[in-house]
Amino acid sequence: MIVFSTKRVLLAVKGDSVSEDAFQLASTLAKKDKGKVLATYVIEVKRSLPIDAELPIETTRGEKVLSQIENLAKTSKCHIEANILQSRRAGPAIIQEAINKDADLIVADIGSTSLNAGDSIEQMSAYILHNASCRVIFCLAEQSSLGANNGH
């Protein structure tokens, strides 16, 4: 039995896909308290570019992943708020978003984080663990991922 509030569950994703397991975990926990999932897609911006650079390929990728999450949320009747952030590193962006949104829990989908340059899984995970002001769950699923090209 979970005894802490999960009204605002931040689901942190980056890369080409999000595991369905990570979404289901975030959704189940949010719905327990009649809360919502705060789906946050992080685009890591290279230091050679301005932080607010137009990155159409990465933005399209993020929109696609968030659209898939929104479709899952609709199917599972889960309230959702979706956001794309641009940052030099994913870890600090996730922590700042959790603070800004007053998140009760961060579910970090680390199954797809190695697809982008920038934070390694270890760097991002360590940063989140050391700086989070709420509970954190890391989700590394080996099952099928939404948005991944599975050769079909």
Domains and CATH numbers, the chain: 8-146 (3.40.50.620)
Rounded-to-integer distance, Cα 69 and Cα 11, Å: 10
Residues in contact with 18: Cβ distance below 8 Å, sequence separation at least 6, in sequence order: 11, 65, 68, 69, 109, 112, 145, 146, 147
Q: What is the mean pLDDT of residues 46-61?
A: 96
What tokens appear for 62 in the block?
Answer: 């993020």
With 60 as the cut, is the pLDDT of residue 91 above it?
yes
What tokens appear for 113 in the block?
Answer: 């984080």
With 60 as the cut, is the pLDDT of residue 126 above it?
yes
With 80 as the cut, is the pLDDT of residue 4 above it?
yes
User: Is residue 121 left, alpha or beta, with left meaning phi > 0 and alpha meaning psi from -120 to 50?
Assistant: alpha
